Chain A
């Protein structure tokens, strides 16, 4: 067994670098063609100018970026998007970590069923799941009836921040749980038993042993959730309504309603740039320090 492991470890060294490059070349070229080139082309649009007749005029102008960063409206939408992404990620972690932890620890024969139930929502499109939330939160729904009956007052659930938060969190949760489960499974649970054997309480053993070892996985899962939430479209549109403005719907509005493709490009690259920046800062602060 040890020989096989050694062979597997040595195998990458046995492939010449030139051959590896040759083998990876076609796939890399396909990715470049399909992703990078359109991205560069779309980034270029951001420096063009909108024209009512021609729709887009060739230019090299940073006016669209200046407009975005000098307009309180656009900045407000960006800040709201970051805030919602952060809140949704915290909510997902608070719900997802205990579930993922229990999934790793459980020896139950129903474990595979539990994993299947977590994966099941991914079989349904995010938009359809949001429509489901609309039915749950709408006026006259069972939930609305219960609230009115119990409290005697009506609380509008649709078109609220809370509705959007639940929509985004429910969309992200399966991804987050599966990522956390995979990270926690890499932690040797016997270490917790060892810590408890040496006198640590279960809570102390968890926070001093398991949590630090699982932390890099938690950060990766949180980043995944944050990135997904930054790009949320269906939840803000369907559950938040037209007044609830986030970046992805704003992008679609610039593109589809205003036909202002240069501004749509700017919104797209602001989302991408902000996400990369925040993820980079989080990685630097949370992972490298350890």
Chain B
């Protein structure tokens, strides 16, 4: 199975073993000092539910062993980003680390709200897959290609392209998530013009899909309509397929031939973070092989580093098919320039029709 170098699956190497050993030695050398007092508290703004649980198991446990107390502030993306924006004038904000998507990181970095991440303080940044080095203000945590998911029981032959879903046989049977509308439009642009920047052509395709009965479900809610046959195809990150397969559901993924746009989550440090050193350490641990491996096993997202050391069932599930599918990254700087207009068009011309 061949894959692009930047997307090859990570393995545990000598460097991470040595780092792990050093971390253990450092933790041991603290002796009788209370861990929380030794290194301080790190407040992480994150999603709740499984995501927060995954962070707890993969990162928080290691941070606590290093003497940090990690506090999770779980909320929605909008509430989390809103808090960072609202607190910009304060000398110290609520978060040390904030979980962000690249588009939001771009917006907040442009507004001067995020700290530029210093590779000297976050050594593991060097291990990030080259294609995911998209911002100096955000460390990528996970990614997952957006794919066409389907239930083989109701749809034996999956669509090969987003354009196939314009066929009347998919009328009312295709669903996307409202929250990730930029990915939907760019996936359509990729189909229509082979270029994610061809927004106008992408919009035309989405309008045609809408006229063909496009449906909307949140990512969490899409498994049920796929199972009942209410829809036969959805556009979601591959991670969801892995998660539902692990829950025993018969759901499969098809990579659109025009290319898949990866869904990416990352972490940033607000400029007014109270404990920046702790934040850097948290991000460094997040980019470590152990944290990446545990999170991948738990949530089904691909690691953002080159040596996570996935093995067994997780490695098998997360290995991209051969020949390697075409992966096209979103241009977040471009997205930031069109986001307002695109959002309004989506609200009025797609949801409002």
Query: Min CB distance, B207 to chain A, in Å?
Result: 14
- Which of the candidate stretches B2-10, B136-144, B336-344 sits at the interface with the other chain? B336-344
Specify which of B178, B225, B228, B347 lies most central, judged by the most chain A CB atoms within 10 Å of its CB.
Answer: B347
B352 is contacted by which of A73, A252, A253, A255 (Cβ under 8 Å)? A73
Contact B85 A259 (CB under 8 A): yes
B13 is an interface residue with CB less than 8 A from chain A? no
> 4 closest pairs, A vs B, by CB?
A256-B78, A242-B178, A242-B216, A140-B228
Q: How many residues on chain A are close to B (CB under 8 Å)? A: 23
> With contacts A140-B228, A242-B216 known, is A252 near B340, CB below 8 A?
no
Bound-state CA distance A253–B178 (Å) is 11
The SS class assigned to the B binding surface is helix
Contacts of A261 in B (CB 8 A): 85
A138 is an interface residue with CB less than 8 A from chain B? yes
Contacts of A242 in B (CB 8 A): 178, 216, 351
A28 is an interface residue with CB less than 8 A from chain B? no
Bound-state CA distance A161–B348 (Å) is 18
Q: A139-B228, A259-B85 known; 6 other A-B pairs, CB under 8 Å? A: A52-B337, A54-B111, A139-B225, A253-B347, A255-B82, A259-B81
Contact B351 A50 (CB under 8 A): no
Contact B351 A245 (CB under 8 A): yes
Interface residues of A (CB under 8 A from B): 50, 52-55, 73, 76, 138-140, 241-243, 245, 252-253, 255-261
Interface residues of B (CB under 8 A from A): 76-79, 81-82, 85, 107, 110-111, 178, 216, 224-225, 228, 230, 336-337, 339-340, 343-344, 347-348, 351-352
A258 is contacted by which of B79, B337, B343 (Cβ under 8 Å)? B343
Contacts of A76 in B (CB 8 A): 352
| Chain B residue nearest to A259 in the complex (CB) | B107
Contacts of A257 in B (CB 8 A): 78, 343
Contact A52 B85 (CB under 8 A): no
The SS class assigned to the A binding surface is loop
Contacts of A260 in B (CB 8 A): 340
Contacts of B336 in A (CB 8 A): 52
B348 is contacted by which of A55, A73, A138, A258 (Cβ under 8 Å)? A73
| Chain B residue nearest to A258 in the complex (CB) | B343
| Chain B residue nearest to A51 in the complex (CB) | B111
Contact A256 B77 (CB under 8 A): yes
Query: Min CB distance, B302 to chain A, in Å?
Result: 26
Contact B216 A243 (CB under 8 A): yes
Contacts of A54 in B (CB 8 A): 111
Contacts of B111 in A (CB 8 A): 53-55
Bound-state CA distance A154–B351 (Å) is 23
Contact B107 A138 (CB under 8 A): no
A138 is contacted by which of B85, B178, B224, B337 (Cβ under 8 Å)? B224
Contacts of B352 in A (CB 8 A): 73, 76, 243, 245
Bound-state CA distance A109–B81 (Å) is 53
Contacts of A253 in B (CB 8 A): 343, 347
Bound-state CA distance A55–B339 (Å) is 12
Contact A256 B81 (CB under 8 A): yes
| Chain B residue nearest to A76 in the complex (CB) | B352
Query: Min CB distance, A208 to chain B, in Å?
Result: 48
Contacts of B339 in A (CB 8 A): 258
Bound-state CA distance A53–B107 (Å) is 7
